[in-house]
Amino acid sequence: MPRDDARARDYRVLYDRDARALRDNHTDPRTFLARMRLNKSVKTRSFATSARAAWTISQQCAVVVIHSGAHGAIADGAVRARTLVRWETRALGVGLAAWALGGDGSSAEGSVKLGRAGRAWRSIRLGALTLGGLVALTPLCQTMTAAVSDDTAATCATLALALYAITYDYAFVNLETKQLASSFSLGASMFASLLMASRLDDPASVFADVLLALECYVLSPYVWRAIRAFSTTLHLVVVFALHIIAFTVARARDETLAWAYVVGVFLLAVVAPASLVRLAASGKRQIAGPWDEALPKLYLFKDTVRAAGVPRYRHWAANK
Amino acid sequence: MLSDFFLPSIGGVELHIYALAARLRARGHKVVVYTHAHPGRVGVRWITRGIKVYHVPRVVMYDNCTFPNFLGGFKLFRKTCVREGVTLVHAHQGCTMSHEGILYARTMGMKCVFTDHSLFGFADVGAIHTNKLLDMTLADTQHAICVSHTAKENTVLRSGYLLGGEPGLAPERVSVIPNAVDSVRFTPDVTKRKKGRRTVVVTSRLMYRKGVHLLAGVIPLACAEHDDLDFLIAGDGSMRKHLEKAIEDAGLTERVTILGSVSHDKVPEVLRRGDVFLNASLTESFCIAVLEAASCGCLVVATAVGGVPEVLPEDIMFLAKPDVQSILDALDECLEALPRADPWRIHERVEALYNWDDVAHRVELAYDRAYDTWDTFMGRLYRLYRRGVVFGKMLWCVAAVTYLWWRALEFFEPAASIEPALALDDERFDVERFDDERALAREE
C-alpha cells in the first residue's frame, strides 16, 4: 500500500505532534467525516422493474383466487366435477406435452440430458403417477377432516393460502434463481387444498379439486417461469388474463369480493412498487466509511470449519 | 468508573479502565469502579493502587454483558454514589450497566462522561438497536471520549448526527483520547529473538473479526517467499482449527507455532520474541495490540481498518488493505526496513506518544469540560423527548419514572442518613493500623 503523504491525508492521526497542541475535542472541518460515503452501494430502483416484479406476485394471488373460486363452484354445484376434471386433464396433457417437446426450462444440476423419447416417457410417467396417485388418495382426502368444523377448516385454509402467497419463491418465476425453493409455501398450499377438498361431498369433486390444486400450486410455477423466459410481454399478458379469470370467478361468488380483489391487485401491483421507489429515493440513507468491517473474499472461506458465527450470506452479498 | 467489563476479566476495555483508574488515583482523585460480580468475587474489594471496586450481583447474560433490570439497580447504585461521594460518573463501552448507570446518574444530577471503545455499523439489526440505546445515553451525557478520530466520527454518526431535526451529539462534545501502553512492562529484548531467522508475531483472539481467514491465506505465501521467516501465534478462539488446518495442509508446522491462549502478563515475553507484529483485523477502533508490539520494539504490519492508520507513524507501522496480497506486499516492505529499525528507539517513541499519565491528564480535561456544562431537569426531559417520534416519548416516560423512583428513594432513605464510606488518604492501605484500631475498639 503506498505511503500516505500527510498533506494529502484526509484523516487526522494520533501521533501528529502539531495536532496534539490542539484541544482533544477540536474538530477539523477539513477531515471530519471526509471519508464518509452516503448511499454508496444503493441501487436506484425503477418503477418498471419493481412493477414487473410485483405483477408476478399478483399472479399467485390470482391463482389462489381461481382455485378458491373453483372450489366454491364445485361445492355449490355451479360447475360439474366431471367437466372440471376433463379441462384439468387436458391442461395437464398440454403441459406435459410441452415439457416433453421443449425440454425442462429449469435444469437441475447433475441431471442427465434426455432425448425426446426420454422426455416423452418421463411426461407420460409423471402424468400417470399424478392421476393414478390422486385417484388412490381421493377416498382418504374425502374423509380426512370429518371431525373438523367448517369454520375451522375455512379459517385454516385461508391462513394457509395467505402463507403460501407470502412465502412463495417469486425469485424462481422472475428468473433470478434456477431451482424452485419453496417447500414451506408448497406445504401450506397443499395443506389448504386438502382441507378444502375434504369438505366436498363426492369423490369426483374431491378429485377435481385436488387435481386443480396440484396444477395451480405444484406444476404451474414451471409454466409461469417458462413463459417468463420466453417473453416478458407474453408473461404480462398471461398474468393479465389470469386476473380477468380470477375476477370473473370471484364475481360469480360475490360482486364486492371481486372488486375488492381488483383494488387489492392495484395496490399490490401499482401502488406498492411506486411507494417503494419513492421511499428508496427519499428515505434511504446508507452510511459507509472507514469504520465499516472489512469483508474477506469468498475464496478465503474454502475449507473453513465454520465462519465463526458470521452468516455466510453476508459475505455472499458483499462479494457478488 | 462504570462498566460491565472489568477485572478479573481481561480485555482491552478492562485494562483501559484499570490503568486509567490507577493513574487518576495517583493524581489524587478518588476512584470507585462499579461493575458486576464474578464467581468468587462479590461485594466490595480494594485492588492495587487503592482502587475500590464494587462487584454488584447481577445476572450475566452473554460475554460479560449483564441482563438489564431498569430501575432495579437504582437503589444500590444511589447508595454507592452517596456513600462514596461520587460527583462524576464515567461509563465505559455501550453495555447494560453503562446505559443504566448514566440514566441513574443523570437522574441524580451528576455529571456523566461516556467512553466508546468500539466501532459499530449502521445497517444490521444488532447495530440499529445498539445505536438507539447509545442515542439515549449520548443525549444524556455531558461529554464523550473516543479512542481515535475514526471512532469519534462513528460515535457522532451513531448518535443521529445526520438526521437533521435533532442533530444528536455535537462533535465538540467528543474528545479524542487514545489508549496507552504500560511501557514499563512492554520493553524490547533483542536477546529473545531467534538469530538468523525473522519471526512474525501475532497476538489476538483467533476469531473472524481478527482476520484469521486473511492470516491463513498470508502465512503459506509468506513462508514460501521468505525461507527465513517463522510465525509465532498467541491466542485462541473459534477459528483456531481453521488456521491449524491451513498450516498443516501447507506443511508449515515446523515454522509456525501456535501457543494457544496466553495470559496478559505473559504477552510481553511473546512479543519480545518477534521482529514483526502482524495484525489482520477486519475492524478495530484503536488496536492496543499494535502499541504493545511497538513498545516491545517490533515493526508492525496491520490492516488499514477503522482507527488503526491513526495509531503509529509510517516508519513503524506498514499498512495494508484487508486482502492477502496487500498484506504480503506490506510484509515485504516491513522486512526490507527491518535491518534499519532500532527496537529501543521505537519503544521510546511509543512511550513518548502513548503513556497513561498523559491519558489521565487529558481525561481530567474532559471531566472539566463536562463540569462546565449546565443542565436542568426539564431541559433534560425535553432533550430526551426529541430523540424520536416514538423513541423520544418512551425515553421521556422512562426518565420521568426514574426521577419519581429517585424521589421515593430519597424519601424513604434520605442521603443524609447514609453513612459515608471509609476514606482512603494514602495509596497504600495500612492493614496493621486498621487491625489495631479494630482490636482496640473490641476491647473497649
- The CATH number of the domain where B350 resides is what? 3.40.50.2000
> d(Cα B337, Cα B359) in Å, to the nearest integer?
31
Residue A296 near residue B322, CB atoms below 8 Å = yes
How many domains in chain A? 1
- Residue of chain B whose Cα is closest to the Cα of A4: B314
> d(Cα A283, Cα B158) in Å, to the nearest integer?
17
Q: Decide if A306 and B238 are in contact by the 8 Å CB cutoff.
A: yes
Same domain, B54 and B95: yes
Higher pLDDT, B70 or B225: B225
Distances (CA, A) of A293 to B145, B211, B277: 21, 10, 21
Sheet with B111-116, side-by-side order of all strands? B88-92, B111-116, B143-146, B174-176
Overall average pLDDT of the A200-219 stretch: 90
Kindly state whether A305 is in contact with chain B, defined as any CB-CB distance less than 8 angstroms: yes
Q: Could you tell me if residue A244 is left (phi over 0), alpha (psi between -120 and 50 degrees) or otherwise beta?
A: alpha
Same domain, B66 and B113: yes
Residue for grid cell 469540560: B369
- Residue of chain A whose Cα is closest to the Cα of B281: A294
pLDDT of the residue at B148: 95
Q: Is residue A229 in some structural domain?
A: yes
Q: Is residue B76 in some structural domain?
A: yes
Overall average pLDDT of the B131-144 stretch: 90
Overall average pLDDT of the A307-313 stretch: 55
Distances (CA, A) of B17 to A85, A300, B35, B58, B182: 78, 36, 11, 20, 13
CA-nearest of B59, B52, B15, B19 to B36 is B59
Q: What is the CA radius of gyration of chain A?
A: 28
pLDDT classification of A311: cutoffs 50, 70, 90: low
DSSP string for B346-374: HHHHHHHHS-HHHHHHHHHHHHHHHHT--
Residue A105 near residue A177, CB atoms below 8 Å = no
C-alpha of B62 from chain center: 17
| pLDDT-wise least confident of A297-311, B232-246, B361-375 | A297-311
Q: What is the pTM of this model?
A: 0.75
- Which residues from chain B sit within 8 angstroms of residue A25, using beta carbons? 143, 171-176, 366, 369
Helices assigned H by DSSP within chain A:
17-20, 47-76, 81-102, 116-143, 150-167, 170-173, 183-197, 203-213, 220-230, 232-253, 255-266, 272-283, 312-319
Give me the residue from B209, B246, B310 closest to A11, CB to CB.
B310
Beta strands at B65-66 and B51-56: parallel, antiparallel or unpaired: unpaired
Give me the residue from A1, A31, A308 closest to B304, CB to CB.
A1
Same domain, B396 and B333: no
> d(Cα B320, Cα A240) in Å, to the nearest integer?
56
> d(Cα B325, Cα B231) in Å, to the nearest integer?
18
Q: In 3-state terms, what secondary structure has residue B68?
A: coil
Q: What percent of chain B has pLDDT over 70?
A: 94
Q: Decide if B122 and A287 are in contact by the 8 Å CB cutoff.
A: yes
Q: Decide if B310 and A13 are in contact by the 8 Å CB cutoff.
A: yes
Same domain, B194 and B336: yes
Higher pLDDT, B82 or B168: B82
CA-nearest of A65, A105, A23 to A216 is A65
**Per-residue pLDDT for B306 more than 50?**
yes
Separation in Å, CA of B206 to nearest CA in chain A: 9
Separation in Å, CA of A285 to nearest CA in chain B: 9
Same domain, B62 and B133: yes
pLDDT of the residue at B165: 59
Query: Exposure of B324 by Cβ count < 10 A (0-12 exposed, 13-18 middle, 19+ buried)?
Result: buried
pLDDT of the residue at B431: 47
Q: Decide if A25 and B312 are in contact by the 8 Å CB cutoff.
A: no
pLDDT of the residue at B368: 95
**Per-residue pLDDT for B153 more than 90?**
yes
Q: Decide if A294 and B283 are in contact by the 8 Å CB cutoff.
A: yes
Same domain, B244 and B161: no
Which residues have a Cβ under 8 Å from the Cβ of B317 and sit 6 or more positions away?
A: B290, B294, B299, B300, B301, B302, B308, B311
Q: Decide if A24 and B239 are in contact by the 8 Å CB cutoff.
A: no
Q: For residue A86, what are the domain limits?
A: 47-280
pLDDT of the residue at A93: 87
- Residue of chain B whose Cα is closest to the Cα of A3: B314
**pLDDT (tens digit, 9 = 90+) per residue, A131-152?**
898 888 888 888 888 788 888 9
Give me the residue from B156, B318, B365 closest to A24, CB to CB.
B365
Q: Is the peptide bond before A2 cis (omega within 30 degrees of 0)?
A: no
Higher pLDDT, B70 or B355: B355
Q: Is residue B444 in some structural domain?
A: no
Average pLDDT, chain A: 84
How many domains in chain B? 2
pLDDT of the residue at A282: 80
pLDDT classification of A182: cutoffs 50, 70, 90: confident
Same domain, B198 and B173: no
Beta strands at A287-288 and B256-260: parallel, antiparallel or unpaired: unpaired
Q: Which amino acid is at A182?
A: S
B57 CB neighbour count, 10 Å cutoff = 11
pLDDT of the residue at A152: 92
- Which residues from chain B sit within 8 angstroms of residue A23, using beta carbons? 175, 365
Q: Is residue A289 in some structural domain?
A: no
Overall average pLDDT of the A2-18 stretch: 70
> d(Cα B173, Cα B145) in Å, to the nearest integer?
8
Q: In 3-state terms, what secondary structure has residue B144?
A: strand
**Per-residue pLDDT for A3 more than 50?**
no
Residue B101 near residue B88, CB atoms below 8 Å = no
Separation in Å, CA of A288 to nearest CA in chain B: 8
Overall average pLDDT of the A41-67 stretch: 89
pLDDT of the residue at A21: 81
Which residues have a Cβ under 8 Å from the Cβ of B316 and sit 6 or more positions away?
A: B294, B299, B300, B346, B349, B350
> d(Cα B16, Cα B409) in Å, to the nearest integer?
33
| pLDDT-wise least confident of A29-33, A280-284, B111-115, B341-345 | A280-284
Q: Could you tell me if residue A215 is left (phi over 0), alpha (psi between -120 and 50 degrees) or otherwise beta?
A: alpha
Count of CB pairs separated by less than 8 Å, A with B: 134
**Per-residue pLDDT for A163 more than 90?**
yes
**Per-residue pLDDT for A312 more than 50?**
yes
Same domain, B78 and B96: yes
Nine-digit cell string for A249: 370467478
pLDDT of the residue at A106: 45
pLDDT of the residue at B404: 96
Q: What are phi and psi of B65, to 5 degrees?
A: -85, 135
Overall average pLDDT of the B83-104 stretch: 94
DSSP A307: -
Q: In 3-state terms, what secondary structure has residue A37?
A: strand
pLDDT classification of A44: cutoffs 50, 70, 90: confident
Separation in Å, CA of B369 to nearest CA in chain A: 10
Separation in Å, CA of B126 to nearest CA in chain A: 13
- Which residues from chain A sit within 8 angstroms of residue B174, using beta carbons? 25
pLDDT of the residue at B52: 92
Kindly state whether A31 is in contact with chain B, defined as any CB-CB distance less than 8 angstroms: yes
Q: Decide if B176 and A14 are in contact by the 8 Å CB cutoff.
A: yes
Q: Decide if B174 and A15 are in contact by the 8 Å CB cutoff.
A: no
| pLDDT-wise least confident of B292-301, B309-318, B431-440 | B431-440
- The half-sphere exposure of A93 on its side-chain side, counting CA atoms within 13 A, is 6
> d(Cα B99, Cα A315) in Å, to the nearest integer?
32
Same domain, B325 and B379: no
Separation in Å, CA of A282 to nearest CA in chain B: 13
Q: Is the ipTM of this complex over 0.95?
A: no
Overall average pLDDT of the A273-298 stretch: 85
Integer distance in angstroms from the first to the last C-alpha of chain B? Answer: 39
Residue for grid cell 443542565: B375
| pLDDT-wise least confident of A284-298, B85-99, B313-327, B397-411 | A284-298
Q: What percent of chain A has pLDDT over 90?
A: 32
- Which residues from chain B sit within 8 angstroms of residue A304, using beta carbons? 213, 239, 242
Mutant choice from A291, A297, A301 vs B, greatest count of B C-beta within 10 A: A291
Q: Could you tell me if residue B49 is left (phi over 0), alpha (psi between -120 and 50 degrees) or otherwise beta?
A: left
Q: In 3-state terms, what secondary structure has residue B148?
A: coil
Q: Is residue A35 in some structural domain?
A: no
Residue for grid cell 394457509: A160
Integer distance in angstroms from the first to the last C-alpha of chain A? Answer: 25
Q: Which of B309-314's residues contact partners 24+ apart within 8 Å by CB, and which partners?
A: B309/A4, B309/A11, B309/A13, B310/A11, B310/A12, B310/A13, B310/A14, B310/A15, B310/B148, B310/B149, B310/B150, B311/A13, B311/A14, B311/A15, B311/B148, B311/B178, B311/B286, B311/B287, B312/A15, B312/B350, B313/A15, B313/B349, B314/A3, B314/A4
- Which residues from chain B sit within 8 angstroms of residue A11, using beta carbons? 149-150, 309-310
Angle at A304 between CA A302 and CA A310, to 5 degrees: 110
Sheet with B32-36, side-by-side order of all strands? B32-36, B51-56, B43-47
Kindly state whether A313 is in contact with chain B, defined as any CB-CB distance less than 8 angstroms: no
Q: Which amino acid is at B328?
A: L
Q: Is residue A128 in some structural domain?
A: yes
Task: Name the helix (H) or strand (E) containing B219.
Answer: helix B212-225
Q: Is residue A93 in some structural domain?
A: yes
Q: For residue B149, what are the domain limits?
A: 12-180+358-433
> d(Cα A118, Cα B121) in Å, to the nearest integer?
55
| pLDDT-wise least confident of A69-73, A172-176, B329-333, B370-374 | A172-176
- Residue of chain B whose Cα is closest to the Cα of A29: B171
Residue B38 near residue B8, CB atoms below 8 Å = yes
Kindly state whether A19 is in contact with chain B, defined as any CB-CB distance less than 8 angstroms: no
Q: Is residue A169 in some structural domain?
A: yes
**pLDDT (tens digit, 9 = 90+) per residue, B245-299?**
889 989 999 999 999 999 888 999 999 999 999 999 999 999 999 999 999 999 9
Q: Is residue A159 in some structural domain?
A: yes
pLDDT of the residue at B167: 65
Domain stops at, among B354, B371, B405: B354
Q: Is residue B3 in some structural domain?
A: no
Domain stops at, among B325, B354, B383: B354
**Per-residue pLDDT for A306 more than 80?**
no
Distances (CA, A) of B87 to B1, B53, B391, B422, B427: 11, 17, 29, 17, 21
Separation in Å, CA of B293 to nearest CA in chain A: 16
pLDDT of the residue at A107: 47
Q: Could you tell me if residue A40 is left (phi over 0), alpha (psi between -120 and 50 degrees) or otherwise beta?
A: alpha
- Which residues from chain A sit within 8 angstroms of residue B241, using beta carbons? 305
Q: Is residue A314 in some structural domain?
A: no
**pLDDT (tens digit, 9 = 90+) per residue, A101-130?**
775 544 444 456 677 788 888 888 888 888
Q: Is residue B439 in some structural domain?
A: no
Residue B9 near residue B64, CB atoms below 8 Å = yes
Residue A196 near residue A148, CB atoms below 8 Å = no
| Residues facing B174 on adjacent strands | B144
**Per-residue pLDDT for A80 more than 70?**
yes
- Which residues from chain B sit within 8 angstroms of residue A297, using beta carbons? 323
- Which residues from chain B sit within 8 angstroms of residue A309, using beta carbons? 208, 238
pLDDT of the residue at B434: 45
**Per-residue pLDDT for B427 more than 60?**
no
Q: In 3-state terms, what secondary structure has residue B34?
A: strand
> d(Cα B307, Cα B284) in Å, to the nearest integer?
6
DSSP string for A268-298: IIIIHHHHHHHHHHHH---EESTTSPP---G
